[in-house]
A and B are shown apart, each in its own frame.
Chain A
Amino acid sequence: MNAPDKNAYPGKLAWLWAMPNIAIGLFILAVGAFLFFYHHQERDQRRMGLIEDLLWQEQSIHQHLENTEETLTILAKDMMQQTPADQRFHARAAFQLKINPEIIDIYWVDEHKIIQWHSAEQPEPARLSALSAEAFNRAKLMNHAVFSPVRSTGAAEAWFELHAPLTKNRNFRGVLVARISLQGILKHMVPWWFAERYQLSILDSDGLLLASKLDIPVSDSELSYKLNFDPPGYGLLLHASARKSAAERAPKLLEILIVGLSLLVLWSLWALRKHTRHREQAEQDLRGEYAFRTAMENSMATGMRAVDMEGRITYVNPAFCRMVGWSETELVGCLPPMPYWPPDSQDYAGEIFNAMLHGEAPPEGTERCFIKKSGECLDVLIQSAPLIDTKGRQKGWMSSITDITERRRTQEDLAAAYERFVAVMEEINAAIVVTDAQSHALLYANGYFKRVFGPTAGAEDFCLVAPHYWQAATGPSARIPADVFDTEIHINQHWFHVRGRIFKWVDGRTAHMEVATDITERKQADELSRRQEEKLHFTARLVTMGEMASSLAHELNQPLTAIASYATGCINKLKYGESAQDILPAMEIISVQAQRAGKIIKNIREFVKKSEPHKTPALLADILEESVGFAEIEARRQAVEIRLDLPEAPIEVNVDRVMIEQVILNLVRNGIEAMSGQARRHLSLSARCTADGFAEVCVSDSGNGLSAEAANQLYTPFFSTKPDGMGMGLNICRTIIEFHQGRLWHDPNPEGGTRFCFTLPLGV
Chain B
Amino acid sequence: MSKVFIVDDEQAIRDGLHWLFESCGIQAVTFASGEAFLDSYHPDLAGCLLLDVRMPGMTGLELFERLQQLGCALPVVFLSGHGDIPMAVAAIHHGAVDFIEKPASDNQLVEKVAGCLRQDEERRQRMAVAETFRARLHALTSRELEVMHLILAGRLNKNIADELNISMRTVEVHRARVLEKMGVNSAVELAQALAAHEAQELRQTIQKS
Contact = CB atoms under 8 A, between A and B. Distances in A.
A563 B16 CA distance: 7
Interface stretch (B17-25, B87-95, B135-143): B17-25
Given A553-B82, A557-B103, A572-B107, A562 B23 contact: no
Given A569-B19, A572-B23, A561 B83 contact: no
Contacts of B82: 549-550, 553-554, 557
Nearest to B21: A569
A570 B23 contact: yes
Contacts of A589: 12, 15-16
B17, B20, B22, B104 — most chain A CB neighbours (10 Å): B20
A569 B22 contact: yes
B13 interface: yes
Interface in B1-21: 10, 12-13, 15-17, 19-20
Contact of B10 (A553, A562, A566, A576): A562
Contacts of A71: none
Contact of A563 (B22, B79, B103): B103
A258 interface: no
Interface string B74-107: 0000010111000000000000000000111111
Interface string B89-127: 000000000000011111101100000000000000000
A564 B103 contact: yes
A287 B24 CA distance: 139
Contacts of A565: 13, 16-17, 19-20, 103-104, 109
B16 A566 contact: yes
Contacts of A576: 23
B16 A572 contact: no
Given A560-B103, A565-B13, A573 B23 contact: yes
A553 B81 CA distance: 8
Contacts of A563: 16, 103
Nearest to A566: B16
A559 interface: yes
A569 B20 CA distance: 4
Nearest to B19: A569
A579 interface: no
Nearest to A560: B103
Contacts of B83: 546, 550, 553-554
Most B CB contacts (10 A, CB to CB) among A550, A565, A572 go to A565
Contacts of B22: 569
A561 B19 CA distance: 12
B123 to A, nearest CB: 27
Contact of B105 (A553, A564, A596): A564
A561 B20 contact: no
A514 B79 CA distance: 70
Contacts of A566: 16, 19-20
B12 A559 contact: yes
Interface in B32-84: 54, 79, 81-83
A559 B103 CA distance: 9
Given A553-B82, A568-B107, A561 B23 contact: no
Nearest to B25: A576
Nearest to A558: B10
A593 interface: yes
B54 A561 contact: no
A430 to B, nearest CB: 50
A215 to B, nearest CB: 183
B20 A557 contact: no
Contacts of B23: 568-570, 572-573, 576
A553 B103 CA distance: 11
A586 interface: yes
Contact of A562 (B12, B54, B107): B12
A537 B109 CA distance: 41
Contacts of A554: 54, 81-83
A561 B16 CA distance: 8
A576 B102 CA distance: 25
Interface string A562-598: 1111101111110010000000001001000100100
A564 B12 CA distance: 11
A560 B82 CA distance: 12
Contact of B102 (A560, A570, A573): A560
A559 B16 CA distance: 10
A531 to B, nearest CB: 28
Contacts of B17: 565
Given A554-B81, A586-B19, A561 B24 contact: no
A572 B23 CA distance: 6
Contacts of A562: 10, 12-13, 15-16
Nearest to B83: A550
Contact of A561 (B104, B106, B107, B110): B104
Interface in A260-290: none
B13 A561 contact: yes
Contacts of A553: 81-83
A3 B185 CA distance: 136
Contacts of A561: 10, 13, 16, 79, 102-104
A156 B10 CA distance: 210
A557 to B, nearest CB: 5
A546 B82 CA distance: 11
A569 B15 CA distance: 11
Nearest to A586: B19
Given A550-B83, A553-B83, A558 B12 contact: yes
Interface in A585-625: 586, 589, 593, 596
B16 A569 contact: yes
A572 B103 contact: no
A293 to B, nearest CB: 101
Contact of A564 (B24, B81, B104): B104
Nearest to B105: A564
B165 to A, nearest CB: 71
A566 B83 CA distance: 24
Contacts of B15: 562, 589
Contacts of B110: 568, 572
A550 B20 CA distance: 26
A567 to B, nearest CB: 9
A546 B79 CA distance: 21
A549 B54 CA distance: 16
A300 to B, nearest CB: 91
Nearest to A575: B23
A590 to B, nearest CB: 9
Contact of A568 (B10, B20, B79): B20
Contacts of A550: 82-83
Contacts of A596: 12
Contacts of A573: 23
A419 to B, nearest CB: 62
A591 to B, nearest CB: 12
Most buried by A among B22, B102, B106: B102
A554 B82 CA distance: 6
A583 to B, nearest CB: 9
A323 to B, nearest CB: 83
Nearest to B17: A565
B14 to A, nearest CB: 9
Contacts of B10: 558, 561-562
A558 B55 CA distance: 12
Nearest to B102: A561
Contacts of B104: 561, 564-565, 568
B32 to A, nearest CB: 14
B12 A593 contact: yes
The 9 closest A-B pairs by CB, nearest first: A565-B16, A553-B82, A572-B23, A550-B83, A562-B12, A564-B103, A569-B20, A569-B23, A569-B19
Given A554-B81, A569-B22, A589-B16, 5 more contacts: A561-B10, A564-B103, A566-B16, A569-B19, A589-B12
11 contacts: A553-B81, A553-B83, A554-B83, A558-B81, A558-B102, A561-B10, A561-B103, A564-B103, A565-B13, A572-B24, A572-B107
